[in-house]
């Protein structure tokens, strides 16, 4: 996306036009498989999700396929629902807090591992192990550890003389507990992508900075951080998209409870559409689409920032 | 100093992997001690029942998961690498829009994707097959792969590509003999995630392969999740056993993420 | 959906291209045609019948699957069985029906039957000719709506109170004295005073939570059509008081029934509310246990909800398949086989005749047979698909009261308002 807005290379007029046309052919030939792939595999589900949210589906019309058109009725229902306000707030808190910690910790670890030392490659690989576990297992393990009565976290707090915290069963703590688990799950992603980003920075740049007498801290802010910006931006953007979507961790740990205290848009959408004896597909899809709109907004912000950077 | 770093690295890794340790601990725990308060830190009075069940029943699932994971990696790279090259270096008109679409594509909830695939797969006859599952799992990774690879390939110095062009290399040859080798690190990173996503996917597997002859490990776990009861030591044991071969793969792959690939190429 | 035929072909070609391009064809040629055997070609063949059940814990070598195969052999067909996670099966069944790919026999949790019936997925007993005359009416009711019957219960289970004899002895509690809520609470108080833990149950924010709450709710004399009646509020208050006084652990708010059982199996708890299916595990705990029915507020046995699955026959485009499917279902649910089925699944049989034989074989089951006779379907009283819309606010209210975010009265009043607006 950066490339499309980059000023074109300065080549003489006529030759440039000719090359440009054949260049476009080549460029789109390379893109063709992915475009085809997107059309085949994403267009239909996306269309389905929009269609589900605009019709008044009951279980019967879901099966028969004859649901009446409802316009924005499902959206109105969702906006008017008492869950809307708290769920929006929880989504924002969950996403921003998770992102901030995941990125900061991930970057710190990437910097730490970027200087090679004994076992560094192996330890770095081990940091990915949380991703190997099916979410039902890792999320269940977290709820095991955070259990009010038999959890190891409360046991440890007990040894320190701190009273038990009802991590998952108190409305004040449930959201923070799922955020902690989500940060844990997100660290490997940030670590690995940012680490690759650090590796792509040429060593010569550092050498020059060292010659200028910059200390470690200055080198980070003046050299590493600016050069890492494109990778950081995409990492945060992808992290944002993935965090907005998170539902399994919350669902397994708290089911969005107690009494809605950890309900985000993603778990709400799932509860409406699938986590129920009688699914309400319409409102479920409507909430899902609101999430897509949120990601869209952040995507546009990202592109604007990219554009400004490309111009400066 | 180097040792100090190693020690610190070990400590950090230990903190990070504590939940994994806890999972291992539970996998050895007897039913009667599972909710003991306070919990046992070591499974001293443990049981191997969970592992006995897993080794009896789960090995075929592991094989399927490996095939699905590697297949997903192959398909993802095949689709994403050329696309990323184009977006990063060939300046296609409308490339920005495409990147944006890729970003949004990832927002469609997995369960909606799965429902869409169900209809498509049923009519094309790939429901309950391994290739079908690979194609479905690749949708988890392809948009990510294109976006990440585009970012990294944008960082390849123009001089490098121009040098190749001066030597008379076409677009394809530049891609194969310059861009791909220089992008080794990011290709490995992308492969890692493609593999991990396919490995831990549950939603596609359960919708698209539950009736299949070859099922991945995430479905194998459901041996221990009955309609009324769950055998947690066997569930955890499955996860432990399943993560061993995959961890080995990760450690090997990480060794190939090396510093200075781009820089070295420029100097030459 | 309607224009699907044309676009699907395009999609199919695209898929084939991609699969070939990805070199996937080489990966697994063996599974190639599986998808279509259960789908389109099914109608033509007739040799293979598909069965879906919510028992993924039973694999190909288990007694349950062997029984399915035997029934298939008796009907002269091959049986292709898939076990699904129970919480997933409703959506799978709806999705399959939408794509005209329903299984021939579908075994689902009983409160789901009315949902699938309303969706038009299931055949009635008039259409499929299943004989339900010998089934206990209180069990059959969960599968009936609008005067029609949509399946046969394969077996039933319900809830009762397990108790730990050693813990009660140490606390000086005589189990015979536990007859109503007051005496139960008194017993819990003694247990706590003796340094042990009182009672564990599951109040999780899903249908499981409602399932566990209902014996207390019904036992108070409350009715599902009015959640915030004084009786209903008293049931929530009973639970929240137990939590406040430390008779029940705080973890019940997030407990599944399995977690709650694990707590009981640790040997510290005096009581646990749990189901028939734990009977086999109860023997493995290493302490002496007993079972009593859940007491009603003022004494007597509280009606517990019936659990257990229904065997149903989904609508097929080829109605000629019903005759064979009917043979399969009858084989699973009648006479001698019902005894095998219910023993295999550790359920109570749905007919009195088989129940008597179960008790003969295993006297421990007597209390459970009694409990099942007193039990009540969640979707009974002609609630049907209204039940889920009441159940969700109800479990929410229980969670709100137990976690302290709302007092019981307020929580139930809010739930009643939510349920009333959802039903309209």
- Provide the pLDDT for residue C46: 54
Q: For residue C277, which of C197, C371, C214 has the smallest C-alpha distance?
A: C371
CA distance C94 to C76: 28
Specify the 3-state DSSP secondary structure of B34.
coil
Question: Can you give the pLDDT at residue A131?
Answer: 82
Q: Check pLDDT > 80 for residue A310.
A: no
A144 vs C: CB within 8 A: no
Q: Is residue C370 part of a domain?
A: no
- Summarised one tens digit per residue, pLDDT across range C275-291 is 998 988 888 888 999 99
**Token pair for residue C350?**
């749905």
pLDDT score for A191: 93
**Range from A9-18, A87-96, C68-77, C342-351 carrying the lowest mean pLDDT:** A9-18
> What span, in angstroms and rounded, lies between the C-alpha atoms of A222 and C366?
78
- pLDDT for position C173: 94
CB contact under 8 Å between A258 and C97, yes or no, is: no
The residue-averaged pLDDT of B222-237 equals: 84
Statement: residue C23 has pLDDT above 60: no
User: What part of A 214-233 touches B (C-beta under 8 Å)?
Assistant: 230-231
- Please give the span between the terminal C-alpha atoms of chain C, in angstroms, as a whole number: 29
Asked if the model's pLDDT at residue B182 lies above 80, the reply is yes
Check C27 against B78: CB less than 8 A apart: no
**What CATH number corresponds to the domain at position C335?**
3.40.190.10
Q: How would residue B258 be classed by pLDDT, with cut points 50, 70 and 90?
A: low
Decide if C163 is inside a domain.
Answer: yes
Give the pLDDT band of residue C202 (cuts 50, 70, 90).
very high
- pLDDT-derived band at B136 (thresholds 50, 70, 90) equals very high
Q: Is it the case that residue C44 has pLDDT exceeding 60?
A: no
β-pair partners for C164: C289
| C167 and C288 inside one domain | yes
Asked if residue B58 lies in contact with residue C292, where contact means CB atoms within 8 angstroms, the answer is no
Same domain, residue pair C230 and C194: yes
Per-residue pLDDT at C3 exceeds 70: no
Task: Give CA–CA dist C364/A192, Å, rounded.
Answer: 57
Above 70 in pLDDT, residue A137?
A: yes
Task: Sort B154 into a burial class: Cβ within 10 Å, 0-12 / 13-18 / 19+.
Answer: middle
User: Who contacts A12 (Cβ-Cβ below 8 Å, separation ≥6)?
Assistant: none
High-pLDDT (> 70) share of chain C, %:
89
Q: What pLDDT sits at residue B251?
A: 82
CATH architecture of B51-267: Orthogonal Bundle (1.10)
The three-state secondary structure class of C142 is: helix
- Do C178 and C295 meet the contact criterion of CB atoms below 8 Å apart? yes
pLDDT of res. A10: 37
User: Residue C258, SS3?
Assistant: helix
Instruction: Residue C372: name the closest of C236, C277, C284 by CA.
Output: C277
Confidence band, pLDDT 50/70/90 cuts, at residue B17: very high
* pLDDT value of position C42: 40
Asked if pLDDT for residue B122 goes beyond 80, the answer is yes
CA-CA distance, A209 to A144, in Å (whole number)?
Answer: 49
Chain B touching partners, 3 or more CB pairs below 8 A: A, C
Tell me if chain B has a CB within 8 Å of the CB of C275: yes
Find the mean pLDDT for residues A246-264: 89
Length of chain B: 268
Give the confidence band of A68 by pLDDT, cuts at 50, 70, 90. confident
Confirm or reject contact between A72 and chain B (CB < 8 A): no
pLDDT above 80 (res A63)? yes
Distance CA A213, CA A216 (A): 10
The counts of H helices and E strands in chain A are 17, 0
The predicted model gives A194-209 an average pLDDT of 83
Same domain, C54 and C108: yes
Residue A15 has pLDDT above 50, yes or no: no
Confidence class for position B268, pLDDT limits 50, 70, 90? very low
The three-state (H, E, C) secondary structure of A173-188, written as one string: CHHHHHHHHHHHHHHH
Q: State the residue range of the domain holding C86.
A: 46-153+309-346
- Say whether B95 and A33 touch across the interface (CB within 8 A): no
User: DSSP code of B177?
Assistant: I
The answer to whether the CB of C93 falls within 8 A of the CB of C314 is yes
Closest CA to A291 of A146, A115, A95: A95
pLDDT confidence of residue A20: 63
Contact partners of C by the rule of 3+ C-beta pairs under 8 A?
Answer: A, B
Q: Average pLDDT in the A273-302 region?
A: 86
Residue A284, CB half-sphere, CA atoms under 13 Å: how many? 22
C119: closest chain A residue by CA: A60
pLDDT tier for residue C70 given thresholds of 50, 70 and 90: very high
Q: Say if residue A5's pLDDT is above 60.
A: no
pLDDT of residue C37: 39
Would you say A253 and C397 are in contact if contact means Cβ atoms under 8 Å apart? Answer: no
Q: What is the CATH number of domain A77-311?
A: 1.10.3720.10
Q: Is the pLDDT of residue C39 over 60?
A: no
Helix (H, G, I), strand (E, B) or coil at A144: helix
Which tokens hold the place of C336? 């001698």
B235/A241 CB distance under 8 A:
no
d(CA C247, CA B166): 82
- Under 8 Å between Cβ of C309 and B227: yes
d(Cα C217, Cα C207) in Å, to the nearest integer? 14
d(CA B76, CA A105): 28
Do residues C293 and C324 both lie within one domain?
A: no
How far is B4 from A140, CA to CA, in rounded Å? 34
For residue A19, pLDDT beyond 60:
no
pLDDT for C12: 42
Cβ-Cβ contacts under 8 Å between A and C: the total is 117
Put simply, whether A251 touches B (Cβ < 8 Å) is no
Nearest to C100 by CA among C312, C313, C315, C311: C315
Give me the count of residues in chain C: 424
Residue recorded with tokens 């770093």: B5
Count of domains observed in chain C = 2
Mean pLDDT to the nearest integer, B21-48: 86
Residues B172-193 as b or e (16 or more Cβ within 10 Å = b): eebbeebbbebbebbbbbbbbb
Supply the pLDDT for residue B191.
Answer: 92
**C373 part of a folded domain:** no
- Over residues C252-260, the mean pLDDT reads 93
C403 touches chain A (CB under 8 A): yes
- Average pLDDT for chain A: 85
Same domain, C294 and C337: no
pLDDT, position A48: 82
Angle formed at CA B32 by CA B30 and CA B38, multiple of 5 degrees: 95
Is B80's Cβ below 8 Å from some Cβ in A?
Answer: yes
* Whether B266 contacts B157, CB under 8 Å: yes
Question: CB of B242 within 8 A of CB of B62?
Answer: yes
| C124 and C199 fall within a common domain | no
What is the pairing mode between strands C269-275 and C197-200? parallel
Q: Cα(B140)–Cα(B155) distance, rounded to whole angstroms?
A: 25
Domain boundaries, chain B: 1-47, 51-267
Q: What angle do the packed helices B130-154 and A13-41 form, to 10 degrees?
A: 150
Same structural domain, C313 and C302: no
pLDDT of residue C11: 42
Lowest-confidence segment of A234-243, A268-277, A302-311, C294-303 by average pLDDT: A302-311
**3-class secondary-structure state, position C109:** strand
Find the DSSP H helices in chain B: 2-16, 18-27, 49-57, 59-85, 95-105, 110-124, 130-154, 158-166, 171-174, 180-182, 184-200, 203-208, 217-220, 232-255, 261-267
Which DSSP helix (H) or strand (E) runs through C291?
strand C289-292
Least confident of B110-124, C39-53, C369-383: C39-53
Task: Give me the pLDDT at residue B33, please.
Answer: 84
What's the rounded Cα separation, in Å, for the pair B99 and A180? 31
What is the rounded average pLDDT of the residues C120-134?
A: 92
Does A86 lie at the interface with C, CB-CB under 8 angstroms? no
Q: What is the DSSP annotation of C7-53?
A: HHHHHHHHHHHHHHHTTGGGT-STTTTHHHHTTHHHHHH-SEEEEEE
Shortest distance between the Cα of B230 and any Cα of chain C, in A, equals 6
Segment B8-16 shows an average pLDDT of 93
pLDDT tens track for A116-127: 788 888 898 889
Which of B124, B225, B226 is closest, CB to CB, to C11?
Answer: B124
Chains A, B: CB contacts within 8 A come to: 319
Q: C251 to chain A: which residues are within 8 Å by CB? A: 147-150, 169
């Amino acid at each position: 996306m950066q490339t499309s807005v980059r000023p074109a290379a300065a080549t003489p007029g006529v030759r440039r036009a000719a090359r440009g046309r054949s260049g476009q052919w080549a460029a789109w030939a390379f893109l063709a498989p992915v475009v085809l792939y997107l059309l085949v595999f994403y267009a239909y589900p996306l269309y389905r999700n929009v269609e589900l949210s605009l019709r008044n589906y009951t279980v019967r019309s879901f099966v028969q396929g004859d649901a009446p058109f409802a316009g924005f009725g499902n959206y109105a229902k969702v906006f008017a629902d008492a869950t809307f306000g708290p769920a929006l707030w929880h989504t924002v808190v969950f996403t921003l807090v998770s992102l901030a910690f995941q990125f900061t910790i991930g970057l710190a670890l990437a910097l730490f591992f970027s200087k090679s030392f004994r076992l560094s490659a192996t330890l770095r690989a081990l940091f990915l192990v949380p991703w190997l576990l099916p979410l039902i297992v890792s999320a269940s393990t977290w709820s095991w550890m955070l259990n009010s009565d038999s959890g190891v976290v409360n046991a440890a707090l007990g040894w320190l003389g701190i009273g038990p915290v009802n991590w998952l069963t108190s409305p004040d703590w449930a959201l923070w507990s799922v955020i902690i688990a989500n940060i844990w799950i997100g660290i490997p992603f940030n670590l690995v992508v940012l680490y690759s980003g650090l590796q792509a920075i040429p060593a010569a740049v550092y050498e020059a900075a060292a010659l200028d007498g910059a200390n470690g801290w200055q080198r980070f802010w003046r050299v590493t951080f600016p050069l890492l910006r494109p990778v950081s931006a995409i990492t945060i953007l992808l992290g944002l998209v993935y965090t907005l979507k998170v539902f399994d961790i919350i669902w397994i740990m708290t089911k969005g409870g107690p009494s809605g205290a950890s309900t985000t848009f993603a778990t709400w959408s799932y509860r409406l559409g699938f986590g129920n004896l009688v699914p309400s597909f319409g409102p479920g899809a409507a909430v899902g689409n609101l999430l897509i709109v949120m990601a869209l907004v952040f995507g546009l912000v990202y592109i604007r920032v990219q554009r400004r950077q490309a111009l400066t | 100093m180097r040792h100090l770093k190693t020690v610190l690295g070990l400590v950090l890794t230990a903190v990070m992997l504590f939940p994994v340790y806890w999972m291992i601990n539970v996998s050895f725990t007897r039913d009667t001690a599972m909710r003991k308060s306070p919990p046992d830190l070591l499974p001293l009075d443990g049981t191997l029942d969970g592992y006995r069940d897993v080794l009896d029943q789960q090995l075929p699932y592991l094989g399927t998961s490996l095939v699905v994971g590697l297949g997903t990696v192959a398909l993802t790279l095949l689709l994403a690498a050329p696309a990323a090259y184009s977006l990063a270096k060939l300046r296609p008109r409308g490339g920005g829009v495409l990147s944006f679409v890729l970003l949004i594509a990832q927002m469609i909830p997995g369960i909606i994707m799965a429902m869409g695939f169900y209809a498509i797969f049923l009519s094309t006859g790939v429901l309950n097959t391994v290739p079908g599952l690979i194609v479905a799992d690749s949708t988890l990774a392809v948009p990510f792969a294109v976006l990440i690879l585009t970012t990294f390939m944008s960082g390849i110095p123009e001089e490098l590509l121009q040098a190749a062009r001066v030597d008379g290399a076409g677009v394809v040859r530049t891609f194969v003999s310059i861009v791909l080798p220089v992008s080794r690190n990011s290709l490995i990173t992308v492969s890692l995630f493609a593999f991990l996503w396919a490995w831990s996917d549950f939603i596609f597997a359960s919708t698209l392969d539950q009736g299949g002859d070859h099922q991945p490990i995430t479905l194998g776990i459901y041996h221990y999740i009955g309609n009324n009861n769950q055998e947690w030591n066997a569930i955890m044991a499955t996860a432990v056993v399943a993560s061993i071969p995959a961890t080995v793969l990760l450690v090997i792959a990480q060794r190939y993420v090396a510093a200075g690939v781009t820089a070295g190429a420029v100097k030459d | 959906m309607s224009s699907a035929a044309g676009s699907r072909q395009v999609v199919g070609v695209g898929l084939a291209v991609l699969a070939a391009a990805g070199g996937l064809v080489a990966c697994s040629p063996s599974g190639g045609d599986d998808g279509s055997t259960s789908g389109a070609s099914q109608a033509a063949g007739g040799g293979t019948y598909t069965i879906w059940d919510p028992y993924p814990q039973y694999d190909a070598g288990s007694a349950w699957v062997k029984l399915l195969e035997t029934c298939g052999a008796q009907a002269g067909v091959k049986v292709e069985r898939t076990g699904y996670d129970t919480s997933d099966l409703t959506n799978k069944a709806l999705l399959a029906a939408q794509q005209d790919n329903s299984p021939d026999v579908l075994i689902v949790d009983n409160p789901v039957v009315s949902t699938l019936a309303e969706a038009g997925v299931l055949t009635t007993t008039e259409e499929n000719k299943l004989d339900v005359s010998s089934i206990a009416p209180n069990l059959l009711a969960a599968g009936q709506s609008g005067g029609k019957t949509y399946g046969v219960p394969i077996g039933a289970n319900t809830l009762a109170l397990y108790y730990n004899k050693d813990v009660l002895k140490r606390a000086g509690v005589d189990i015979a004295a536990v007859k109503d809520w007051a005496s139960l609470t008194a017993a819990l108080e003694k247990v706590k005073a003796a340094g042990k833990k009182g009672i564990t149950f599951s109040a999780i924010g899903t249908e499981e939570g409602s399932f566990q709450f209902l014996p207390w709710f019904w036992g108070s004399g409350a009715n599902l059509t009015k959640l915030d009646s004084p009786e209903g509020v008293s049931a929530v208050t009973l639970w929240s008081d137990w939590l406040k006084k430390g008779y029940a652990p705080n973890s019940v708010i997030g407990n599944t029934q399995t977690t709650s059982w694990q707590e009981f199996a640790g040997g510290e708890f005096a009581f646990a509310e749990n189901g028939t299916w734990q009977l086999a595990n109860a023997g493995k705990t290493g302490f002496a246990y007993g079972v009593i029915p859940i007491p009603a507020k003022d004494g007597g046995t509280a009606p517990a909800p019936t659990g257990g699955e229904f065997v149903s026959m989904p609508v097929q485009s080829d109605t000629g398949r019903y005759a064979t499917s009917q043979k399969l279902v009858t084989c699973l649910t009648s006479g001698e086989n019902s005894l095998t089925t219910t023993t295999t699944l550790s359920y109570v049989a749905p007919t009195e005749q088989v129940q008597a034989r179960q008790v003969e074989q295993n006297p421990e089951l007597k209390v459970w047979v009694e409990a099942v006779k007193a039990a009540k379907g969640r979707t009974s009283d002609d609630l049907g698909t209204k039940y889920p819309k009441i159940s969700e606010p109800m479990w929410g209210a229980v969670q709100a009261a137990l976690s302290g975010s709302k007092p019981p009265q307020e929580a139930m009043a809010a739930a009643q308002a939510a349920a009333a607006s959802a039903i309209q």
